[in-house]
Amino acid sequence: MQATGQQPASDHADEATTTEELTLDGEGGCKLFAWLWERLRAVLGTPVAAALMRRAISAAAQSYPGLRGIIISRERLTYSYSLPEEFCARGLKHPVLAYQALIRELFQLTGELTGGVMVRGLVKSRELSPWLPDMEEVEKWLTPEG
């Protein structure tokens, strides 16, 4: 079983995604990725979300090679992602540190792109709170450089 998601490149839907609380086991990893994808896509657009996710995955995979199993692809104007089965299987413990590394990379990239606005919005989200890296580190992307 793989989790996949597709979005047309021109889709900037405002639809709310699920607010189910993420867990550290079960399908939490799939829900986390889907939630992040939707948030980035809704605010920045699908092509930018895909580019940021690819870059964040590539950077975080230097320390957590299992992240390389996340595939972001494009066919014509439709972007999609595919997650490895182990990211979604019920009852398996997810590599929390790997997800935190992915989030850290996303925060750095979106912080550079949006001046911390996107990071600020993500940090306030109840859905993301169990997955956040060290808040001192997050502060770097919330505070504009002088």
In this structure, is residue 16 part of a structural domain?
A: no
- Whether pTM exceeds 0.75: no
Q: Which of 45, 56, 21 is nearest to 35 (CA)?
A: 21
Which of 55-59, 77-81, 90-94, 111-115 has the highest average model confidence (pLDDT)? Answer: 55-59
**Which residues form the domain of 138?**
3-9+22-142
In this structure, is residue 28 part of a structural domain?
A: yes
In this structure, is residue 17 part of a structural domain?
A: no
**pLDDT digit string (tens) for 86-111?**
777 654 455 677 888 898 899 889 88
In this structure, is residue 116 part of a structural domain?
A: yes
Q: What's the number of domains the chain is made of?
A: 1
Q: What is the Cα–Cα distance from 37 to 5, expressed in whole angstroms? A: 9
**Backbone phi and psi for residue 24, each to the nearest 5 degrees, phi listed first:** -85, 0
In this structure, is residue 114 part of a structural domain?
A: yes
In this structure, is residue 88 part of a structural domain?
A: yes
In this structure, is residue 14 part of a structural domain?
A: no
